[in-house]
Amino acid sequence: MNLADLNKVALAMVVPGKGVLAADESSGTIKKRFDAINVESTEETRRDYREMLFRSQEAMSKYVSGVILYDETIWQNAKDGTPLVKLIEQSGAIPGIKVDEGTQALPNCPGELVTAGLDKLAERLKKYYERGARFAKWRAVIDIGKNIPTMTAIHVNAHALARYAALCQQAQIVPIVEPEVLMDGDHDIDRCFEVTQRVLNKTFQELRVQRVALEGMILKPNMAIAGKKSAKPSSVEEVAEKTIRLLKSCVPAAVPGIAFLSGGQSDEDATAHLNAMNRIGSLPWRLTFSYGRALQAAPQKAWSGKPENIAAGQRAFTHRARMNALASKGEWEAGLEKKVA
């Protein structure tokens, strides 16, 4: 492992003014997104949609530091035969790859999940590196509910995240470590805070046990936020203040950067929260976005599967990327939302 090079890639992923585009939806998830806009999900429509994003020149060159791809996409070519990975590289962004294989039911823990994909991961990472991937992603899912999460679910997921991270670094690939505490329930922000704190503490404990170099990884956490069905929704200031307090209590300063998931927040909430956190300032790590839905919902709607809407889709994507890029520097303001580029 060359740690200096891993650290360089990690820092480039979280450079102020840029963030990561999570375009790594599995075929099942992208089908759900396409169903919502009445587009059939085929290998070709998935390619066309993602090619539209990666050819958004302004967004990709100015606001996007890296793109997380799904296995299908990393091997696909654009309509003109150029590999999609090359389009990303030519824009100046770094290609990355989702390497987990989704979640499975966790034995003895009803309602809880463990992420799969460690088998043969070393061999797969080698192939992804040869294809151009310089970072990877693994998502663990922790749900909040009555009597969950169990310590068992937190432990096995943290263990798997650290196993994955160590294998990535051995393959000279920067691991994005993503322990996502879902915002699906009716819990309040303090319950989210407490569960996320346990999850992050266990994750960093496992990372240490497995000798993962913290300088060569990126953390992708959820924010401290009330569940979507909570009777007490959180204000922007509260999310920002509690998320920073939470991260300061759990995330070592050696970690170069934190790139949040959007997790079902509205586009504008995801931007406002990131912005408010960066305004607090004096942080040991860089804070940016690694959004999926909060970057793509608008372009998906504008595109709706029609070739004549490609420019509109690219404009919508560029706008969201720009808003989040400003938020990564604490320079976003709500008034900017109305001026779609």
Q: Catalytic pick from 51, 178, 180, 206?
A: 178
Q: Among residues 34 and 291, whose Cβ is nearest to ligand 13P? A: 291
Q: Among residues 22 and 298, whose Cβ is nearest to ligand 13P? A: 22
Minimum Å gap between C-beta 245 and ligand 13P is: 22
Count other Cβ atoms within 10 Å, centred on residue 235: 11
The answer to whether residue 96 forms part of the interface with ligand 13P (CB under 6 A) is no
Distance CA 11, CA 288 (A): 11
The answer to whether residue 97 forms part of the interface with ligand 13P (CB under 6 A) is no
DSSP 56: -
Host H or E run for residue 142: strand 135-142
Distance CA 338, CA 328 (A): 19
Structure tokens at 144: 């909040």
Phi, psi dihedral angles at 80 (to 5 degrees): -85, 10
Q: Among residues 178 and 269, whose Cβ is nearest to ligand 13P? A: 178
Task: List the interface residues with ligand 13P, window 241-270 (CB under 6 A).
Answer: 261-263
Residue 220 known to be catalytic:
yes
The answer to whether residue 139 forms part of the interface with ligand 13P (CB under 6 A) is yes
Which of helix, strand or coil describes residue 21?
Answer: strand
Minimum Å gap between C-beta 265 and ligand 13P is: 8
Q: Please provide the DSSP assignment of 256-311 as one string.
A: -EEEE--TT--HHHHHHHHHHHHHH---SSEEEEEESHHHHHHHHHHHTT-GGGHH
Task: List the interface residues with ligand 13P, window 155-174 (CB under 6 A).
Answer: none
Task: List the interface residues with ligand 13P, window 6-25 (CB under 6 A).
Answer: 22
Minimum Å gap between C-beta 225 and ligand 13P is: 12
Residue 123 known to be catalytic:
no
Binding site residues, ligand 13P, CB under 6 A:
22, 139, 178, 261-263, 291-294
The catalytic residues are 178, 220
